[in-house]
Amino acid sequence: MGNFGCGDGGWTLAMKIDGKKKTFYFDAGFWSDKNAYNLAGGKTGFDTQETKLPTYWNTPFSKICLGMKIGQQIKFLVIKKQASSLHSLIADGKYRATSLGRNTWKTLIGSQASLQSNCNKEGFNAAGSSKGASKARIGILGNDQKDCTTCDSRIGFGTGGYDDDSNTCGNNGHSNGDNGNKKIKAIGYILVQ
């Protein structure tokens, strides 16, 4: 794939996630295994067909392109990160920080995005420390408390938490989010280069 919003060079699709489905919720085995899901969905472009391709575990990269589609609008951001594969960053469940900042993560959603003001824990395997708190395989968390214990807002891919475990990709802004309470389910695209 050429430049569709993440810059020049060839991009390789790894996953597509439908935020309305639980296929790729935070605790799904697909994040830690090396099993493909719906290979045909890897050939259909930026649509709603969920997929996990072998590129998830066998493609080294220096950049990750993340996209979220809400309605007909797709917004992208790029994370500069070198790894032997997405599997190597995510499968072990260890938190690995990024430093994009909350405003950059919010661009995936657009003007409707809402996060609580505190915590701002971002990256891979981000999770609040209390049972049931928001979590994201890739994303950012917010909290109304001045810590990361009971996070109940998030923007991300492969998400979960007591605030809405049915929203697995998109934005949940809850309890004093900076743009009100939101439950925005997106189609997520994860590509590598």
Q: Which residue has the tokens 């099993």?
A: 35
Q: What is the dihedral of CA 97, 98, 101, 105, to 10 degrees?
A: -110
Rounded to an integer, the average pLDDT of 137-141 is 98
Which three-class secondary structure state does DSSP give residue 64? strand
Tokens of 180: 């009100």
Domain boundaries, the chain: 12-98+188-192, 110-184
Each residue's pLDDT tens digit, 12-63 = 999 999 999 999 999 999 999 999 999 999 999 999 999 999 999 999 999 9
H or E stretch covering 89? helix 86-90
Sheet holding 169-173, edge to edge: 96-97, 118-127, 135-143, 153-160, 169-173, 182-185
**CA 102, 175, 27, 95 torsion: positive or negative?**
positive
Tokens of 90: 């995510």
Spatial neighbors of 45 by CB under 8 A, at least 6 apart, are: none
Name all contacts of 27-30 with Cβ < 8 Å and 24+ positions apart: 27/160, 28/158
Which three-class secondary structure state does DSSP give residue 178? strand
d(CA 52, CA 10): 18
**pLDDT > 90? residue 103:** yes
d(CA 112, CA 71): 13
Each residue's pLDDT tens digit, 62-81 = 999 999 999 999 999 999 99
Each residue's pLDDT tens digit, 147-191 = 999 998 999 999 998 767 789 999 998 888 999 999 999 999 999
Answer yes or no: are the C-beta atoms of 52 and 14 closer than 8 Å. Answer: yes
